Chains A and B, each alone.
Chain A
Amino acid sequence: MTQSEPAVEVRDLVKEFPAPGGGTIRAVDGVSFSVRRGEIFGFLGPNGAGKTTTLEVVEGLASPTSGQTFVLGSDSHKDAARVKSRIGVQLQAAAYFDHLRLDEILELFGSFYPRSVSPDVLLAKVGLSEKRRARLKELSGGQAQRFSIVAAMVNDPEVLFLDEPTTGLDPQARRHLWDVIGSINREEGKTIVLTTHYMEEAELLCDRVAIIDNGRIVALDTPLGLVRQLPAAYRIAFATGRAIDEEDLARLPGVAEVAALPNGERRYELRVRDPQATLFAFTTWARDRQVALDDVRVSPATLEEVFLSLTGHALRE
């Protein structure tokens, strides 16, 4: 067992479920990827894409139909006990015991492991020290999610699996949770594998993102790398004082598409491959045509667009 082994390695994973009307549903259809130690790795995909199923096979909770999964160099099914003692698992929408207090739940789960972190230390990590004597149902949604993250850390795991840690939270609570997850990763060096529906979350939080749809990984790269795969990965947005000739603009180098934004204020958007080259030509064009430019912005495309271009459908229908 060496440090160079990946935190997670999945080879040709297939998972089928019996379909209600006979036959089978292929929830995971030949997935391979590996997660490096110390990174935050995200699965981005719509409902039913196979995110939870993939994680559960990796965690050793469900057996694969075919393929292999390894965590920290150990087979998560043949060597399940070893893997379970080294990982932390937050399940999608799982509850804890209604009748135990937060510190009692952490104490109890800690007793399942050979060595465990004290409840006080864990609760302090996520700002829940005052709530140690509370029941889970007395917490807000954001607090409950924070609790379920530290409940997955009672054994000081090397790899932390978080299934939709921020789903259902308001933007403020979501941001707070990103801070928590980010600091667990940076300060404690834990590898984190998470799933999400939110582009923004994947872009801001994850080192690398696997886009998954219909049980297959359709792309896997850093957020920026994914965006760069698009034929026109950037956009230049601007406003003008007068109407312009769109065809004229489309002939500028590197411009893939010109669109008038639909708010009736003479705002336009250029989809471009190489913003540097295009910007130069664009400003020259404006000077030559005596077009007064206003509010020029350059931004990369979003993962939403990446998703749309890769799968042909929007992330949320």
Chain B
Amino acid sequence: MRKLFVASLKMLYRDKQTLFYALLFPVIFAVVFGLFDFSRGPKVDIAMVGARTSPVYRALVEGLRPVASFSVKEGRTLASARAALTAGDIDVVLSVPGEPPAGSSPAIGPAVIEVLYNQSNFDTNQFALGAIERIVDRLNLTLSGVRSPPLVVAPNGVKARTIDYYDFLLPGLVAMGVMQFSIIGMAVAIARFREQRILKRILATPLAPSKFLVAQVGARLVLSVVQAALIMAVGMVLFGARVYGSIFWIVALAAVANLIFLNIGVAVAGRAPNPDAAQGIGNVVALPMMFLSGVFFPTETLPAAMRAVVRYLPLTPLIEALRTIANDGLPITAAGSQLALLGVWVLVSFLLANRAFRFARA
């Protein structure tokens, strides 16, 4: 059995094509998503138009500059600023009137600061208009000679744990990587062994066929540890993903839960007449989980009826448990109900594999 296990590992290691899919494919995902920067807020380009010497103009520029997400551009005429806004190069145009004509009194009404903005850019507008209004309010107070306003806001932001989309995604990619590779890879490998009559050849020896399958599953379990660790390493080292919990438990959980997907792979191979069919059936099983079980978005966004089903698919509790550790920084025991569900799946998938796999058809 030891020789069989070592030989199974060797076969896996030398099968470069399988290794490529197992290791490179999910890593490519991790890299591609890592290249997007999900942590930045919206960046707003503001064009200032008007007399640069006017105190209102100066005060606005000084008020806007310190806001990190604002980039203030000066020196355009109103017409060219409008054109840039229409073209989408500028998000907001602030048009400040010149010096009030001499002798005018406040009685003729306030000077109007015209704000032109791109109406289709809802988030940016909310944010930019709010900030501009606050600056103008402050200016108004100053201009009206109010030195100490009766009410002030004391911002006291509590530093919460920062989770950006990439931090959220990474545990999902780990789970997806081991699942894809195991269901489809295992199913195709065994279907190929059968097609080449290797299974039948083994059946002609005293070796219990189940031992051969166990060795295959074991070898792939080892590979899934490497796979999970590699995806985590790429995400954390190259792209600075934040992981708050134990990396050991993340990798260990992904690998152990992978037993489920390997069993499913064996079950698929048991039903599939040839390697191509195994690939097809494997995809039919794996793809819905990949899209529904919350790899890319929280399952809370699914319709309730769908979520009621999806939460019981094996990939869902795995991803939830991984996020409990990675994103919430909790110990693995905090994901008790997910672990229980995974335990049930290990059992169920083993029975499925056992039932579906007709070794006699070898």
Looking at chain B's contact residues, the main secondary structure is helix
A95-B198, A96-B198, A111-B3 known; A104-B205 Cβ under 8 A: no
Of B8-16, B88-96, B151-159, B236-244, the one contacting chain A is B8-16
B residues in contact with A95, CB < 8 Å: 196-198
Are the C-beta atoms of A93 and B11 separated by less than 8 Å? Answer: no
Are the C-beta atoms of A89 and B10 separated by less than 8 Å? Answer: no
- Cβ of B206 within 8 Å of any chain A Cβ, yes or no, is yes
Are the C-beta atoms of B205 and A84 separated by less than 8 Å? Answer: yes
Are the C-beta atoms of B201 and A91 separated by less than 8 Å? Answer: yes
Are the C-beta atoms of B14 and A91 separated by less than 8 Å? Answer: no
Indicate which residue in B198, B205, B362 contacts A97 across the interface (CB closer than 8 Å): B198
- Cβ of B304 within 8 Å of any chain A Cβ, yes or no, is no
- Cβ of A280 within 8 Å of any chain B Cβ, yes or no, is no
Q: Mark B1-42, 1 if CB is under 8 A from A, else 0.
A: 001100100110011000000000000000000000000000
Cβ of B41 to closest chain A Cβ, rounded Å: 51
- Cβ of B143 within 8 Å of any chain A Cβ, yes or no, is no
A residues in contact with B3, CB < 8 Å: 107-108, 111
Are the C-beta atoms of A112 and B7 separated by less than 8 Å? Answer: no
B residues in contact with A99, CB < 8 Å: 10-11, 14-15
Task: List residues of A (266-296) whose CB comes within 8 Å of B's CBs.
Answer: none
Task: List residues of A (60-87) whose CB comes within 8 Å of B's CBs.
Answer: 60-63, 81, 84-85, 87
Cβ of A173 to closest chain B Cβ, rounded Å: 21
Cβ of A267 to closest chain B Cβ, rounded Å: 48
A residues in contact with B14, CB < 8 Å: 99
Are the C-beta atoms of B197 and A113 separated by less than 8 Å? Answer: no
B residues in contact with A91, CB < 8 Å: 197, 200-201, 204
Tell me the complex Cα distance, A109–B207, Å: 9
Q: Mark A249-261, 1 if CB is under 8 A from B, else 0.
A: 0000000000000
Tell me the complex Cα distance, A155–B360, Å: 23
B residues in contact with A108, CB < 8 Å: 3-4, 7
Q: Who on chain B is nearest to A82 by CB?
A: B206
- Cβ of B277 within 8 Å of any chain A Cβ, yes or no, is no
Q: Mark B181-220, 1 if CB is under 8 A from A, else 0.
A: 0000000000000001110111111110000000000000
A100-B10, A100-B11 known; A94-B198 Cβ under 8 A: yes
Are the C-beta atoms of B4 and A111 separated by less than 8 Å? Answer: yes
A100-B7, A100-B11 known; A81-B197 Cβ under 8 A: no
Cβ of B233 to closest chain A Cβ, rounded Å: 27
Q: Who on chain B is nearest to A110 by CB?
A: B3
Counting contact residues on chain B (CB < 8 A from A), the size range is 20 to 34
B residues in contact with A164, CB < 8 Å: none
Q: Mark A49-62, 1 if CB is under 8 A from B, else 0.
A: 00000000001111
B residues in contact with A62, CB < 8 Å: 360
Q: Who on chain B is nearest to A109 by CB?
A: B205
Q: Who on chain A is nearest to B201 by CB?
A: A94
Q: Mark A148-168, 1 if CB is under 8 A from B, else 0.
A: 000000010000000000000
Indicate which residue in A84, A97, A107 contacts B204 across the interface (CB closer than 8 Å): A84
Q: Point out which of A91, A96, A108 has the most chain B C-beta atoms below 10 A from its C-beta.
A: A108
Cβ of A40 to closest chain B Cβ, rounded Å: 20
A residues in contact with B203, CB < 8 Å: 61
Are the C-beta atoms of A93 and B197 separated by less than 8 Å? Answer: yes
A94-B196, A107-B3 known; A112-B201 Cβ under 8 A: no
Are the C-beta atoms of B201 and A85 separated by less than 8 Å? Answer: no
Q: Mark A88-126, 1 if CB is under 8 A from B, else 0.
A: 010101111111100010011101111000000000000
B residues in contact with A97, CB < 8 Å: 7, 11, 198
Tell me the complex Cα distance, A113–B3, Å: 12
Cβ of B274 to closest chain A Cβ, rounded Å: 14
Q: Who on chain A is nearest to B196 by CB?
A: A95
Tell me the complex Cα distance, A94–B197, Å: 5
Are the C-beta atoms of A61 and B197 separated by less than 8 Å? Answer: no
Cβ of B282 to closest chain A Cβ, rounded Å: 20
Q: Point out which of B198, B203, B204, B360 has the most chain A C-beta atoms below 10 A from its C-beta.
A: B204
A94-B197, A95-B196, A96-B198 known; A112-B11 Cβ under 8 A: no
Cβ of A226 to closest chain B Cβ, rounded Å: 30
Tell me the complex Cα distance, A218–B252, Å: 63
Tell me the complex Cα distance, A98–B201, Å: 14
Indicate which residue in B196, B201, B202, B205 contacts A113 across the interface (CB closer than 8 Å): B205
A residues in contact with B360, CB < 8 Å: 62-63
Tell me the complex Cα distance, A112–B207, Å: 5
Indicate which residue in B4, B10, B206, B362 contacts A84 across the interface (CB closer than 8 Å): B206
Are the C-beta atoms of A81 and B206 separated by less than 8 Å? Answer: yes
A residues in contact with B198, CB < 8 Å: 94-97
Indicate which residue in B7, B196, B204, B207 contacts A104 across the interface (CB closer than 8 Å): B7
Q: Who on chain A is nearest to B11 by CB?
A: A99
Cβ of A80 to closest chain B Cβ, rounded Å: 9
Tell me the complex Cα distance, A91–B199, Å: 11
Indicate which residue in A94, A96, A98, A112 contacts B205 across the interface (CB closer than 8 Å): A112
B residues in contact with A94, CB < 8 Å: 196-198, 200-201
Task: List residues of B (245-291) whose CB comes within 8 Å of A's CBs.
Answer: none
Q: Who on chain A is nearest to B14 by CB?
A: A99
Cβ of A91 to closest chain B Cβ, rounded Å: 5
Q: Who on chain B is nearest to A83 by CB?
A: B206
Identify the 10 closest CB pairs spanning chains A and B, nearest first: A95-B196, A94-B197, A89-B204, A112-B207, A99-B14, A111-B3, A112-B205, A99-B11, A108-B7, A84-B206
Question: 12 additional contacts, CB 8 Å, given A84-B206, A89-B204?
Answer: A84-B204, A84-B205, A93-B197, A94-B196, A95-B197, A99-B11, A99-B15, A109-B205, A111-B4, A112-B4, A112-B202, A155-B205
Q: Which residues of B contact A (CB under 8 A)?
A: 3-4, 7, 10-11, 14-15, 196-198, 200-207, 360, 362
In the assembled complex, 28 residue pairs joining A and B whose CB atoms fall closer than 8 Å, in A order, are A59-B204, A81-B206, A84-B204, A84-B205, A87-B204, A89-B204, A91-B201, A93-B197, A94-B196, A94-B200, A94-B201, A96-B198, A97-B11, A97-B198, A98-B11, A99-B10, A99-B14, A100-B7, A100-B10, A100-B11, A108-B3, A108-B7, A109-B205, A112-B4, A112-B202, A112-B205, A112-B206, A155-B205
